[in-house]
Amino acid sequence: MGAIASGGVRVLDRGVMQLAEVDEADMERITAIEQREVERRERQYRGDRPFPDLRGKIVILTDDGLATGSTMRAAVAALRQEGPTKVVVAVPVAAADVCESFRTVADDIVCAATPSPFYAVGLWYEDFTQTTDDEVRELLERAQRRDHAGV
């Protein structure tokens, strides 16, 4: 149906909403629930660290793949608010039409594979298990330690 991101960003797929028979009131309720989840994850993942200063930087956004692109569109919109010089989207697999549509969303798009038929991102992985909150925290802490060590 869509995606949300920091900074009040919300990307809706009206066609999916219509197919799922989700009206505006339902969408507002769902958005409020998901916004609380975004805020929880930000607190849990970042802790007391501030959001990184992205002004004047090139940002590369990656994900496991692009099916509808809603989540990545929300991520790009949220990052644009932070003032990067350039936003690059890079994914290993994507639906061809979605990959192409990102040429007007990101400054550059890299889709390593655009198989046809596409169906779903998870079909292109041997192991598509979700990353846990603990794994995310550990990876972020490891990256922060490496940054402070000057590596």
Q: With bands split at pLDDT 50, 70 and 90, how would you rate the model's confidence at 151?
A: low
Write the burial class of residue 106 (CB in 10 Å: 0-12 exposed, 13-18 middle, 19+ buried): buried
Backbone angles phi, psi at 55, to 5 degrees: -60, 130
Cβ-proximal residues to 127 (8 Å cutoff; 6+ apart), any chain: none
> For residue 13, what pLDDT is reported?
85
- Are 10 and 81 in contact by the 8 Å Cβ rule? The answer is no
Whether the per-residue pLDDT at 143 is higher than 70: the answer is yes
pLDDT (tens digit per residue) in 55-98: 999 999 999 999 999 999 999 999 999 999 999 999 999 999 99
**Among 135, 129, 130, 128, residue whose Cα is nearest residue 45:** 135
Q: Where exactly are the structural domains of the chain?
A: 2-148
Give pTM, 2 decimals.
0.86
DSSP, collapsed to helix, strand or coil, labels residue 90 as strand
Q: Are 108 and 89 in contact (CB under 8 A)?
A: yes
Q: Which two tokens mark 65? A: 């793949």
Please state, in angstroms and rounded to a whole number, the distance separating the CA atoms of residues 111 and 98: 10
Whether domain 2-148 has CATH 2.30.30.100: the reply is no
